[in-house]
Amino acid sequence: MPELPEVETIARALAPGLTGRVVTGADVPDATVLAGPADRAAFVAAAAGRVIETVGRRAKLLCITLGPRPQVVGDGPLILALHLKMTGRFHIAPSAHAPPAHARLLLHLADGNALVFSDLRRFGTARLLPPEALAAWKFYASLGPEPWDMTPEAFETALCRKTTRIKAAILDQTVIAGIGNIYADESLFAARIRPDTPAKALTPARRRKLLAAIQAVIAKAIAAGGSTIRDYRTPDGVEGGFQHQFTVYGKACQPCPVCGETLVSIKVAGRTSTFCPQCQQ
């Protein structure tokens, strides 16, 4: 599943081609993508005639702000919140082109292009909501701070009483938003912390070190365009590059890049977790 760096890369790549464009209509080849409104006609009617004001991200959600329709008195903005899940992809293409085989949603733009959301495994979702409804959505409301918004004090408060293992804690989107399996393993290695250490057993200094490691790893991953393991591509069809910088993720039985000890894997929170038994204590 694309994590924070991948969705941030997508948002940055899409923004120049979408910001300021007018949505003239939409096609929904697969209505199961619609999580609200679930009706095709209602979705299309709500989206058409709006200007795309911003393209951003919250946690692992791509968030597109559609401005109020000037022809509708008292109209307000809407947020299109898209969750890529496992195999969701975006690209901008001429509206006249035939959509790809797995296209699930297309937003047609006044410049003759369309934003295409395709999804091979059909797990991705789209919600078109007023800002206040998005804020009230249970999942959205439960999200913890973004890594750069998380202060050491807040991180300490979130973790100091948790009996769960530290990897499970940082995978918890209510604790810190956007972290998945890849960046949890890489951050824990950078902080030299075993993934199965109880969160509350860490000293405040080690928790501060982990937060700094999370922030640094995420920044490096964004700079590299995210990580491509299987399906992820940028809107330009390019693979991410951070997978070439992995230190431990997916490298069980290989030597540790720091000490040479053999990397091992265990299950934490149902996820395969790779670490160095010598460097990470």
String of DSSP letters for 163-220: -SBHHHHHH-TTTSTT--HHHHHHHHHHHT--TTSBGGGS-HHHHHHHHHHHHHHHHH
Mean pLDDT of 61-85: 96
CATH assignment at residue 100: 3.20.190.10
- The answer to whether position 251 is within a domain reads yes
Q: Are residues 61 and 158 in the same domain?
A: no
pLDDT of residue 79: 98
Catalytic residue annotation: 2-3, 60, 271
Residues 66 and 20 in one domain: yes
261 shares its domain with 198: yes
Q: How far apart are CA 110 and CA 95, in angstroms?
A: 10
Q: Kindly report the CATH number assigned to the domain that includes residue 267.
A: 1.10.8.50
pLDDT category of residue 47 using cuts at 50, 70 and 90: very high
Instruction: Choose the final residue of a domain: 142, 166, 194.
Output: 142
Q: What is the mean pLDDT of residues 178-191?
A: 97
Q: Provide the percentage of residues in the chain whose pLDDT is more than 90.
A: 91
Residues 82 and 197 in one domain: no
Mean pLDDT over 104-133 rounds to 96
Going by the DSSP 8-state scheme, the letter that residue 35 receives in this structure is E
Q: Does some domain include residue 163?
A: yes
Do residues 137 and 246 both lie within one domain? no
Assess whether pLDDT exceeds 90 at residue 221: yes
1 has a pLDDT exceeding 80: no
Helix (H, G, I), strand (E, B) or coil at 106: strand
Average pLDDT over the chain, rounded to an integer: 96
Residue 251 bridge partners (DSSP): none
Q: Over 80: is that where the pLDDT of 203 sits?
A: yes
User: What type of residue is 281?
Assistant: Q
Give the residue-averaged pLDDT of 72-81.
Answer: 96
| Residues 16, 136 within the same domain | yes
* Cα–Cα distance list, 128 to 22, 118, 151 (Å): 16, 17, 31
Full residue range of the structural domain in which residue 10 is found? 4-142
**Confidence at residue 103, expressed as pLDDT on a 0 to 100 scale:** 96
Same domain, residue pair 257 and 198 = yes
> Is residue 281 domain-resident?
no
8 and 137 in a single domain? The answer is yes
> What residues contact 2, with CB distance under 8 A and at least 6 apart?
10, 60, 84, 88, 226, 232
Which pLDDT score, from 0 to 100, does residue 249 have?
98
Number of domains in the chain: 2
CB count in 10 Å sphere of residue 53: 15
pTM given for the model? 0.94
> What's the order of all strands across the beta sheet hosting 34-36?
34-36, 125-129, 78-83, 61-66, 52-58
Which pLDDT value is given to residue 131? 97
Residues 168 and 192 in one domain: yes
Q: Verify that 99 and 168 share a domain, yes or no.
A: no
pLDDT number for residue 273: 97
Q: Is residue 25 part of a domain?
A: yes
Answer with the one of 142, 170, 201 that is the final residue of a domain: 142
pLDDT at 50: 97
Residue 42: pLDDT above 90? Answer: yes
Q: Which of 142, 172, 193 is the last residue of a domain?
A: 142
Is residue 171 domain-shared with residue 237, that is, in the same domain?
yes
Same domain, 26 and 130: yes
Tell me: pLDDT of 101 over 90: no
Q: Is 243 a residue whose pLDDT tops 80?
A: yes
